[in-house]
């Protein structure tokens, strides 16, 4: 299994790093991908060196894509036509698409949530066609979550979707979650 986590300046650090860490603990290969450069600055001024840059990615080699939130990060993800292209290709193939915090609004904007239940950062529900007041929502190939405080549960839902309940439980137990 191979997943990419998209990092744009202004991303929410807890959401991105938690997902990267938990997925790697589960044995999933994860590439942290900078949208415009190798160094990416999070919403709380934490600098992260991406594993790869977006223009180096062959989306066909991935089983899933994760979009962290952060209002500036989401705005920067929306500026990239490549992000839209990647999301549409992943959705066409029924591959995993996961978005947390404000990032589910990107999926809604690109009509990937038209017939799906989803959740989003509290107060942004109007951005979604079928919002749910749940920490994590899984609907077919799409997983959404509410924000930094739900990042661990979100990451474990991704592990469960890709590797099954048993593996998710094993990682959860190791994390004392």
Q: Which residues are catalytic?
A: 101
Hey, what's the torsion of the CAs at 28, 117, 34, 42, to 10 degrees? Answer: -110
- CB burial of 63-101 (b: ≥16 within 10 Å; e: otherwise) equals bbbbbbbbebbbebbbeeeebeebbeebbeeebbbbbbb
In whole angstroms, give the CA distance from residue 102 to residue 172. 25
Token representation of residue 23 = 């997925």
Q: How far is CA 98 from CA 12, 39, 95, in A?
A: 14, 23, 10
Number of separate helices (H) and strands (E) present in the chain: 6, 9
Cα separation of 141 and 147, whole Å?
A: 19
């Amino acid at each position: 299994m191979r997943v990419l986590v998209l990092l744009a300046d202004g991303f929410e650090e807890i959401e991105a790093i938690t997902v990267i860490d938990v997925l790697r603990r589960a044995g999933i290969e994860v590439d942290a991908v900078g949208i415009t450069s190798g160094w990416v600055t999070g919403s709380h001024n934490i600098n992260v060196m991406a594993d790869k840059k977006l223009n180096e990615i062959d989306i066909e080699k991935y089983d899933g894509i994760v979009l962290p939130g952060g209002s500036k990060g989401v705005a920067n993800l929306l500026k990239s036509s490549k992000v839209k292209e990647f999301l549409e290709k992943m959705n066409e193939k029924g591959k995993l698409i996961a978005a947390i915090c404000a990032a589910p609004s990107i999926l809604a904007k690109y009509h990937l949530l038209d017939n799906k239940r989803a959740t989003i950062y509290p107060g942004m529900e109007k951005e979604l066609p079928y919002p749910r007041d749940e920490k994590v929502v899984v609907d077919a190939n799409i997983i959404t979550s509410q924000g930094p405080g739900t990042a661990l549960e979100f990451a474990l839902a991704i592990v469960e979707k890709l590797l099954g309940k048993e593996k998710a439980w094993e990682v959860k137990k190791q994390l004392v979650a």
